[in-house]
Chain A
Amino acid sequence: MEVWEEQKAIGHLLREANNPLFRQVVESCAAALLLVDKRGCVMMANREMRRLFGYDADELTGESVDRLVPEGLRPRHEGYVRGFFAAPANRAMGAGRDLYGLRKDGRLFPVEIGLSVIDSPGEKLVLASIIDLTERKRTRQEMANIVERARQAAAIAELGVWDWDLSTNRVRWDQRMGELYGLPAKEEDVDYSVWANSVSREELPQQEAILKETIAKRGRSEREFRIRRYSDGAERIIQANEMVVCDDTGKAVRLVGVNRDVTEQRQAQAVKDAFLHMLEEKNAELERFIYTVSHDLKSPLITIKSFATLASKDADAGEFEKMRSDLVRVEKAAERMHTLLDELLKLSRLGRMVNPPELVSLTSISEEARELVAGRIMERDVTVNISADMPLVNVDRPRMVEVMQNLLDNAVKFMGKAASPRIDVGMVEVEGRRRYFVRDNGIGVEPQYREKIFGLFEKLSLATEGTGVGLALVKRIIELHNGKIWVESNWPNGGTTFWFTLGVGNGVIGANVKSEAFP
């Protein structure tokens, strides 16, 4: 310590204590200096010393050094003085204890005191140099407060804090980091690999690339990555922010950063996104619905109004034949409007009306549906073969009957001129997933219409009966059962297969119907 060196030099000079030049040197020294004899009497206190303790010139000379010692310590201090002179040596006073000086005005202030022995002619003296620690202590306390505040902030934000030494590749991390990575919750030095090994294998290269770039640019970065927690192997999502610390030469020496577990937030976000997506889809569907409905209901309305007017015109002109055909058009359009409204009602009920899921075999569902279309089947002499051993499914039974009824009806409708019309209903397992099918040897579906046929009011041919709601209805019901439906067709040779799946869990018995699928 510089002060020590200075003090030794001064002590040396003080052997010439009565030398006026040396007295002057001591007096003007920037350090607070005090010369005491072995009885504890102040022989000399320099200007800085007096300023520090609030005394005027010469007020201290000849006084007991006890005046500068806090009252409670005085009895012990005497002993210290004696002890010091018994074994005089240059040393710091009160090692390990906080020392205080007593000012003239009674205030205490923290000090550091160095002692050195002076061999002056005749007797040993002690030179004390005193440093005021008030400022240093205050700064230290402030630093401690800042550190504590940072620690608390990190704790409140649930941030793990780490400090990576780039030269040693060691990472100092705090208790929270330990917790985040499923390691002992304590502040410790870990190797960089402890972090790297926990990061998901697919994401690590990209993560390390980001860190490398951050270091190269001496900048900061924000990342998000998946880790496997050491304690339980759970996958967690970590959000990280870090910043490079450079030395005086501008070389990157450390990377300091924070980690936060955002797994729950991300999961909640995913649920929210999925929900939003579903809402958007529903909204789009509703829009399409309104569009088609308004179009398809307006059409017959135009017909009705126009031909009613035309009929009365024809009546005025005495053209009763024409008038009669006008009225037939009016009637048919009104009828069509009626059917449309009925079908729409059916479709809209789908969203709301739910029957509790029943455990029932698709075979019996198909048979029930066959009964419902028996008339048409007989009319066109179609052979319907339903596989006898289809598995049990947990479904809204009446709705599934509707599905099969529509698919059978559709197959019969597009049977065309097949020589031996035939419909097969069955199931196959593909990659452990059950796929149900309704297959016919009818006219087939052209590739470009295979999506379109599931749309509302889509009819490919004017000649066919129906409103174009059937397959849209089927699709909705299958979707309500978390399934998918699609069509394959051997165009132009004929033959169509409608495939569908049920439920998410491989179409397994039990969990086919998710309750949330029904609003």
Chain B
Amino acid sequence: MKLLRMLSLLLVILSLAACSAPELPQSTQPIDTGVDPDAWVTIPAGEFLYGQHEAETDVPYDYEIMVTHVTNAQYAAYLNQALADGTLKISGEQVVGYYPGDAFSGKKHEVEISAGDWPHYPVNAKGTRIQYSGGQFQPLPGYENHPAVMVSWFGALAYCQAQGGSLPTEIEWEKAARGTADNRAYPWGNFLERNQANYYSSSDIFEKVLGKGGDTTPVGFYNGQTFAGYATLDGASPYGLYDMAGNAWQWTAGITPGTHDRYLRGGSKLDYGYNLRLWTRNSVRPDYEGPSIGFRCARSGQGSTTE
């Protein structure tokens, strides 16, 4: 009976603990990783092994892709510019912009993405690291070089188009992450060490704040250097791209046939390590804004809005 009472008490305590919402940090430790978020690399034309089952795939053109995710600083600057020139506007609690729509065939589970204004970024919502105040968007202190998350697919595409590019196709994304040498599962090889990428329970310094699900890490954090006493391993891809495994999922141009979900690649801080394997797909509606979803852009590629 005593044991039963103790167990019941433990359950009540745990249940109360489960209901308590964590305090979200309004700033974080600033870390300069030395990796330039404005840098792009050129991926040369040629074949590579695509997917888990190593399909030989040719990409017959050169293309450029960003070395890192788009950061909060970059995205905040873009939002301010786009609001000023009227490309985007604030409607209610959302930054919205025009999208010409997807072709719709009325299949089961198909969601209609019609022409019109679609959400790009939530204004001061829980999880955003860019605050809107006094008519300006501003990154939270310390989060300037973290990936911009909570950006919808529409918002990511519009940003990339403003840079003269688009979102990478899944093939472009994977080639940039994997290189051409072999069928590696991660950008650096076949084995995932805890201090090589930001994933669930990877024990990075940011997990001390928000627990195992952690927080985003600054772009290029896993570059072999030591930050705040935490030694990282180099997680760069063969082409020198950072965070192609973990930190924040990345929107791609790929659209799920028949449903209009958009494909995501790379895994995130909230996923177990196996989700960081390069061929792992995630997908969600293009208006979804998630705290573990970011993006990077490609140029001269074939990413399009009507794939």
Please indicate whether A and B come from the same complex rather than being unrelated chains: no
Residue numbers of A with Cβ under 8 A of B are none
